[in-house]
Chains A and B, each alone.
Chain A
């Protein structure tokens, strides 16, 4: 992995002037991904914060070829682009090595976009699918998605008398779903650990077949915290065990970063307004339950990776 110094000599492929919120995790993620890529990239975005804010006509922040089609079809649109590349390369009309990356939020990936994603994964296209997971439908006003964690306050899973913890259901484990699709490379990353993230992107791009990286994307607006804290929170997600950094290559699990000391989950909840109700006395048992669950999941992951707890 080249140093930050040498990476800084590369051309910046996402310009300033996009209209994402101050402190948005998504653009930090995109910048790191595009810096890591060694070949030219064609990007495909699903409707969502990133796509909308970077391409308000007549402006575009993208310095790579980019296509947005609709909300639920980043994977199928990119499948078409990749198929075109295969056809034209075979004809000798295109000589360059080009990489294909989809950028979609959890909405366009876990929920409305899951069919297209599943199809693309099963067909085996050569593409990398990036989910920037801000854990709700942020662009339309912070509505819950199946990636929203249990206990989060969103506009469609609000905290109220009948629902004291906000979202009742656990979030989906999409990484496991991707592993089950026989993807040759699936990983989870955080922009706070840029080296790990960029290494994973480079690895995914070097592997033939459909690859997937789930990246936590802190959202100051939706998660209710000061914009300057985005990277701190992206770090806390990892150190609290909520967002383990690992990769699965051809079914083989590997933990790519183990925090020296695990931070109690309550710290993760304390850092964001969307969890502040969990700090109430009546929700103590739920918090303990969630801590147990995170601990359990860590054990399972360690066992899969063949590591000792």
Chain B
């Protein structure tokens, strides 16, 4: 059943939101997310969705309205990019602390300044401590699949955390790809109904959301959030298995590409993972044992799966599409390295910061990364720990 369509990333997001038909969508346009909001608006205007669209006057209000709607007992969604996410930063933390299962596509775009509308991961990486689950999509199909699963993951009783589903701005959001769309009914059945256990609109059981915590209770409330994140990986895997049953596509916290007997591994998230797969195939033809570790779930960070995936590697390069100024490398690199710290066998790990502000990354550049990994594997010399791929000196 279902059908095959040629859709851009934003169009896919709009389409899947149509199928999910959330009760409330409060969103503010920002390039390159705009087509999502426009697409949904058209669906609503044409009577194809019964969603209450709240055309808020800023992203801060978008997330605020989603918090209100979700606490009220409705399924709420929004979407944003870069500075939009930055503007709603205050409320993003609050949404997670209130344990509201809001699902939000984030079309990855560089944070200002200078203002740049193209792709990098500085926006979602900047929100990595907010308490949101973060899933990175490689291509249009994954956007579709991730958003559907995100609703189930977010609303699971054991989790009750909001989920960010990211995909690369312009590279994926505005590129048309082949996508398999499920039937409306199948999506509807998969996401089911949202049941907030304590809705504001249940007037016979008045509850108070968002009290003042003094130093006697704040820590306990935060500890509960840690607990929810710890229960999340298992839920993501279970939902991935259930999704495989209706779509034929299975999902886990990470994706290993030709990792079974690999020496040289590159770790990446987002669309670049797709480009790396091309390079891995080329190198394998040439007899090089190259592989890719794609990070799908960044929060919670899948430490166990990463240790397992990298245990045979002789050298690892982590590609970061964002910088953490003042840190010794990018966020993905620092966390991968940290996961491997306890392991008996010391694996050399290096970092490449690349693609900031939409700077393209080429097959040639990725090959040079594997070349460096070969050198490291042979000489055991790490050389430069953090390098910048594609910047003009």
Contact = CB atoms under 8 A, between A and B. Distances in A.
Q: Do chains A and B touch in the complex (CB under 8 A)?
A: yes
A303 interface: no
A91 B56 CA distance: 23
A214 B210 CA distance: 24
A301 interface: no
A104 to B, nearest CB: 13
Interface string A187-220: 0000000000000000000000000000000000
B212 interface: yes
A203 to B, nearest CB: 22
Interface in A61-112: 62-70, 72-73, 75-88, 90-91, 94, 96, 98
Interface in A6-44: 40, 42, 44
B211 interface: yes
B29 to A, nearest CB: 14
Nearest to B67: A69
Contacts, number: 167
Interface stretch (B68-76, B233-241, B300-308, B372-380): B68-76
A173 B317 CA distance: 60
A80 B202 contact: no
A52 B210 CA distance: 10
Nearest to A90: B50
A75 B57 CA distance: 11
B207 interface: yes
Most buried by A among B91, B200, B208: B208
Contacts of A115: 57-58, 60-61
B55 interface: yes
A141 interface: no
Nearest to B93: A70
A68 B209 contact: yes
Contact of B217 (A40, A57, A77, A86): A57
Contacts of B94: 69-70
Interface string B20-56: 0001101000000000000000000000001110111
A155 interface: no
A79 B61 contact: yes
B65 A76 contact: yes
Contacts of A85: 72, 201
B206 A77 contact: no
B100 to A, nearest CB: 10
Interface stretch (A118-126, A164-172, A246-254, A279-287): A118-126
A81 B217 CA distance: 27
B73 to A, nearest CB: 6
Contacts of B91: 69-70, 73
B260 interface: no
B1 interface: no
A41 B167 CA distance: 40
B8 interface: no
Contacts of B211: 55-58, 60, 68
Interface in B204-249: 206-214, 217
A81 B64 contact: no
B213 A57 contact: yes
A210 to B, nearest CB: 13
B283 to A, nearest CB: 50
A116 interface: yes
Most buried by A among B23, B70, B91: B23
B4 interface: no
A79 B68 contact: yes
B61 A73 contact: yes
B66 interface: yes
A76 B68 contact: yes
Contact of B54 (A42, A83, A90): A83
A3 B60 CA distance: 43
A122 B208 CA distance: 28
B368 to A, nearest CB: 47
Given A57-B217, A62-B206, A88 B68 contact: no
A60 B52 contact: no
Given A57-B213, A69-B94, A123-B54, A84 B61 contact: no
Given A67-B68, A68-B210, A72-B60, A80 B26 contact: yes
Given A56-B214, A73-B91, A65 B65 contact: no
- List the 4 shortest-distance A-B pairs measured between CB atoms, nearest first: A80-B68, A80-B65, A119-B57, A84-B74
14 contacts: A42-B72, A42-B203, A55-B208, A57-B212, A57-B213, A68-B208, A69-B94, A80-B68, A80-B69, A83-B26, A87-B51, A87-B74, A91-B23, A119-B57
Interface of B: 23-24, 26, 50-52, 54-58, 60-62, 64-74, 76, 90-91, 94, 200-203, 206-214, 217
Given A79-B26, A83-B23, 10 more contacts: A55-B208, A57-B212, A58-B211, A60-B211, A67-B71, A76-B60, A78-B68, A83-B65, A84-B73, A115-B61
